[in-house]
Amino acid sequence: MIIEAIDTVYTPNAAEWRETWHGLQTVIEDGSIAHDGSNIPNVFNDIISVDMKPEFPEGFEMDSATQEEIEKWQVIYADCREGKSGKIHPLHVPRSSYAIHDNRLLFDCMVSAAKEVLGYNHFEIVTVGTLGGYSQFFMSIAIKGQESFSVDSTDVWRKFFNLISSHNGLVSSSMMLAMIRMVCMNTVQASIRQSETSGTNQRIEHSKNSLELITPKIFEANLRGWIQDSAVYQETLVSLKDSAMSLDGFRAFSAGVFTEEKSDKISTTSFNRVTELESLFVRGKGNKGESRYDALNAFTEYFTSGNGAGKKSGAKKLARANFGRGNDWKNEAFRVLSDESEFTDSMERGERLLHDRALVASAN
């Protein structure tokens, strides 16, 4: 979603952060991204709203009801005349109660919170950019000193204080503590997904009073609490990695997740999901089919980029995977895997329902 004629993705001129997978970044040649944003001007163009004043076809009757309806709407524009494109770009047609979350305000709140919680020398701004023709704004701040941990020798996680905001209705503004650096919409999606699962994400709707929630103090309080919470999440991931699970166990667990406590059968849809998830448990990204950690990864992949995210593509698939029912299933899998009582109940229910289904199938 990087439109090169409009969008800019800035990275520091440091070996660790200079490169991105897409190669579309703009490197700050004199070093780091300034805390005051002075060397990343192309991401701070004004986002403005204009009242709806449409010109209707000749003969269109403008009655009072139509006029009142029009007055409930506004048009959101990105004023990039002094930016990269040199143009104005229409972004969104929301109701008049929609509040613009200014890129500059969000950036300043993020940096202020990082200074207060981490200290001036214990963080680095590692990406700032816009996406989708200036419709999205994002940034990633790397946390130094306590920035990484390992689940095993192959999975090394880092900590980033991230933000994504939308000016076209795609997503709410979200700040989060995540294990993924944002550099594009794919990594934005992954960061949202992971932080939602770990409980370190705060969404701010573009509602009328939402600007009251965009302050340095509120951002600071969230970051401080999330750093504490992330330690618990890390311990949980390590514990899941150390908890063995067989393929049969994964089938029973999955069937239990997709059914309710008093279920007397598993639906065809749920059974098909279990079947599709099996291959991801064994051969999904980074998986070996050996642990509860592999089970979590299977659910994550299935409901983010697999069949569980639906047949839609692009923005609709992103929204479904990270804010819809797909995200609910990912969170439910993590909750059950990390709660021993819930896990036992799920396994027992799933094993019983799969056994009953097999008996019915053999009888027919």
Q: Are residues 98 and 163 part of one domain? A: yes
Q: Are residues 261 and 211 part of one domain? A: no
- Contact between 287 and 280 under an 8 Å Cβ cutoff? The reply is yes
Helix (H) or strand (E) holding 360: helix 340-363
- Contact between 191 and 177 under an 8 Å Cβ cutoff? The reply is no
Q: Are residues 221 and 252 part of one domain? A: no
- Domain end, chosen from 225, 256, 274, is at 225
Q: Grade residue 154 by pLDDT with cuts at 50, 70 and 90.
A: low
Assigned domain for 118 exists: yes
Q: Grade residue 55 by pLDDT with cuts at 50, 70 and 90.
A: confident
Range 22-47 average pLDDT: 95
Dig out the tokens for 37 from the structure. Answer: 């944003």
Backbone angles phi, psi at 346, to 5 degrees: -65, -45
Q: Are residues 97 and 210 part of one domain? A: yes
What is the distance between the alpha carbons of residues 337 and 243, in angstroms, rounded to a whole number?
A: 10
Q: Grade residue 164 by pLDDT with cuts at 50, 70 and 90.
A: very high
Give the pLDDT confidence score for residue 316 in this predicted structure: 47
What is the distance between the alpha carbons of residues 54 and 131, in angstroms, rounded to a whole number?
A: 28
Q: Are residues 273 and 153 part of one domain? A: no
Q: Grade residue 52 by pLDDT with cuts at 50, 70 and 90.
A: confident
Assigned domain for 207 exists: yes
Q: Are residues 202 and 117 part of one domain? A: yes
Assigned domain for 295 exists: yes
Q: Are residues 259 and 132 part of one domain? A: no
Assigned domain for 238 exists: no
Q: Are residues 142 and 54 part of one domain? A: yes
Domains of the chain: total: 2
Assigned domain for 304 exists: yes
Backbone angles phi, psi at 83, to 5 degrees: -105, -155
The amino acid at 164: I
Assigned domain for 187 exists: yes
Q: Are residues 124 and 168 part of one domain? A: yes
What average pLDDT does the structure give for the chain?
A: 87
Give the C-alpha distances (Å, rounded to integers) separating 346 from 264, 271, 353: 13, 15, 11
Assigned domain for 167 exists: yes
Is this model's pTM higher than 0.75 or not? no
Q: Are residues 36 and 133 part of one domain? A: yes
Give the pLDDT confidence score for residue 152 in this predicted structure: 63
Q: Are residues 249 and 189 part of one domain? A: no
Give the pLDDT confidence score for residue 145 in this predicted structure: 63
- Give the model confidence (pLDDT) of 282-296 as tens digits: 988 878 899 999 999
- Domain end, chosen from 225, 253, 284, is at 225
Assigned domain for 234 exists: no
Give the C-alpha distances (Å, rounded to integers) separating 320 from 35, 195, 213, 272: 34, 16, 25, 19
Give the C-alpha distances (Å, rounded to integers) separating 255 from 139, 158, 249, 252: 38, 32, 10, 5
What is the distance between the alpha carbons of residues 337 and 212, in angstroms, rounded to a whole number?
A: 37
- Give the model confidence (pLDDT) of 306-347 as tens digits: 676 555 555 444 444 444 566 678 888 988 998 999 999 999
Strands annotated E in the chain: 9-12, 26-28, 46-51, 74-80, 87-92, 123-131, 136-143, 148-150, 156-158, 160-166, 173-178, 201-204
- Domain end, chosen from 191, 225, 259, is at 225
What is the sign of the dihedral through the CA atoms of 103, 106, 112 and 114?
negative
- Structural domain including 357 reads 243-363
Q: Are residues 163 and 116 part of one domain? A: yes
Short-list 200, 202, 203, CA closest to 229: 200
DSSP letter string, 119-170: -TTSEEEEEEEEETTTTEEEEEEEEPSS-EEESSSS-EEE-EEEEEEESSSS
